[in-house]
Amino acid sequence: MRFGHFDDQRKEYVITTPKTPYPWLNYLGNEQFFGLVSHQGGGYCFYRDARLRRLTRYRYNNVPTDSGGRYFYLNDGGDTWTPTFMPMKKELDFYECRHGLGYTQITGSRGGLRAEVLFFVPLGHTAEVHRVKLKNESGAKKSLKLFSFLEFCLWNAHDDATNFQRNFSTGEVEVEGSTIYHKTEYRERRDHYAFYHVNAPVSGFDTDRESFIGLYNGFGDPDVPCEGKSKNTVASGWSPIASHGLEVDLEPGEEKTFVFVLGYVENPREEKWERPGVINKRRARDLIGRFERTEQVSAALADLAAHWERLLSNYSIESKDEKLNRMVNIWNPYQCMVTFNMSRSASLFESGIGRGMGFRDSNQDLLGFVHLVPERARERIIDIASTQFADGSAYHQYQPLTKRGNNDVGSGFNDDPLWLILGVAAYIKETGDYGILSELVPFDNDPKNVATLFDHLKRSFDHVSNNLGPHGLPLIGRADWNDCLNLNCFSETPDESFQTTGNRTGRTAESVFIAGMFVHIGPEYAKIAEYRGLSDEAARARGEIEKMEKAVLEHGWDGEWFLRAYDFFGNKVGSKSCKEGESQILIEPQGYCVMAGIGVRTGEALKALDSVKERLDTRYGIVLNNPPYREYHVELGEISSYPPGYKENAGIFCHNNPWVMIAETVVGRGERAFEYYKKIAPAYLEDISEIHRTEPYVYSQMIAGKDAARHGEAKNSWLTGTAAWNFVAISQHLLGVRPEWDGLCVQPCIGKDVPEFTITRKCRGATYRIHVRSSGGKGVAKLTVDGQPITGHVVPYARAGSVVEIECEAS
Binding ligand NOJ (rule: CB under 6 A), the pick from 127, 428, 484, 754 is 484
Q: Does 564 bind ligand NOJ (CB under 6 A)?
A: no
Expressed in angstroms, the distance from the first to the final Cα of the chain is 38
Cβ proximity of 766 and 795 under 8 Å? no
Distance CA(114)–CA(532), nearest Å, equals 64
**Neighbouring C-beta atoms of residue 23, cutoff 10 Å:** 22
Considering CB under 6 A, how many residues would be counted as binding ligand BGC? Answer: 6
Q: Does 481 bind ligand NOJ (CB under 6 A)?
A: yes
Q: Does 345 bind ligand NOJ (CB under 6 A)?
A: no
Tell me the closest approach of the beta carbon of residue 488 to ligand BGC, in angstroms: 16
Nearer to ligand NOJ, 207 or 701 (CB): 701
* Part of the chain binding ligand NOJ (CB under 6 A), chosen from 31-39, 76-84, 249-257, 357-365: 357-365
Q: Does 365 bind ligand BGC (CB under 6 A)?
A: no
Tell me the closest approach of the beta carbon of residue 376 to ligand NOJ, in angstroms: 20
Q: Does 405 bind ligand NOJ (CB under 6 A)?
A: no
Within 15-74, where are the H helices?
none
Cβ proximity of 60 and 51 under 8 Å? no
Which of 596, 441, 577, 619 lies closest to 518 in space, CA to CA? 596
Catalytic one of 76, 321, 483, 707: 483
Binding ligand BGC (rule: CB under 6 A), the pick from 96, 558, 648, 686 is 648
Tell me the closest approach of the beta carbon of residue 484 to ligand BGC, in angstroms: 5
Nearer to ligand BGC, 114 or 715 (CB): 715
Cβ proximity of 805 and 746 under 8 Å? no
Q: Does 114 bind ligand BGC (CB under 6 A)?
A: no
For residue 244, the 8-state DSSP code is E
Kindly tell me the burial class for residue 767, based on how many C-beta atoms sit within 10 Å of its own C-beta (0-12, 13-18, 19 or more): middle
The residues, any chain, with a CB within 8 Å of residue 406's CB and separated by 6 or more, are 356, 395, 396, 397, 398, 399
Residue 647, binding choice from ligand NOJ, ligand BGC, none, Cβ under 5 to 8 Å by partner class: ligand BGC
Q: Does 484 bind ligand BGC (CB under 6 A)?
A: yes
Residue 361, binding choice from ligand BGC, ligand NOJ, none, Cβ under 5 to 8 Å by partner class: ligand NOJ
Q: Does 301 bind ligand BGC (CB under 6 A)?
A: no
Q: Does 707 bind ligand BGC (CB under 6 A)?
A: no
Query: How far is the CA of 274 from the CAs of 132, 189, 270, 281, in angstroms?
Result: 32, 17, 10, 7
* Part of the chain binding ligand NOJ (CB under 6 A), chosen from 138-146, 354-362, 417-425, 597-605: 354-362
Nearer to ligand BGC, 80 or 345 (CB): 345
Q: What residues form DSSP beta bridges with 653?
A: 702
Kindly tell me the burial class for residue 140, based on how many C-beta atoms sit within 10 Å of its own C-beta (0-12, 13-18, 19 or more): exposed
The residue with its CB nearest to ligand BGC is 483
Query: Identity (one letter) of the amino acid at 268?
Result: P
| Beta strands per DSSP E along 209-350 | 240-250, 255-266, 273-275, 278-279, 315-318
Distance CA(601)–CA(523), nearest Å, equals 18
Q: Does 483 bind ligand NOJ (CB under 6 A)?
A: yes
Per-residue mark of binding to ligand NOJ, 651-670 (x: CB under 6 A): --------------------
Instruction: Determine whether 483 is an active site residue.
Output: yes
Q: Does 350 bind ligand BGC (CB under 6 A)?
A: no
Q: Does 360 bind ligand NOJ (CB under 6 A)?
A: yes
Nearer to ligand BGC, 213 or 565 (CB): 565
Report angle CA 642, 646, 648 to the nearest 5 degrees: 70
Cβ proximity of 418 and 521 under 8 Å? yes
Q: Does 725 bind ligand NOJ (CB under 6 A)?
A: no
The residue with its CB nearest to ligand NOJ is 483
Which of 445, 344, 440 lies closest to 387 in space, CA to CA? 445
Binding ligand NOJ (rule: CB under 6 A), the pick from 244, 344, 378, 459 is 344
Nearer to ligand NOJ, 60 or 238 (CB): 60
Q: Does 480 bind ligand BGC (CB under 6 A)?
A: no
Residues of span 619-638 touching ligand BGC by CB under 6 A: 638
Which of 296, 270, 293, 271 lies closest to 282 in space, CA to CA? 271
Q: What residues form DSSP beta bridges with 250?
A: 142
Considering CB under 6 A, how many residues would be counted as binding ligand NOJ? Answer: 9
Interface residues toward ligand NOJ, by CB under 6 A: 344, 358, 360-361, 481-484, 648
Please list the active-site residues: 483
Interface residues toward ligand BGC, by CB under 6 A: 355, 483-484, 638, 647-648
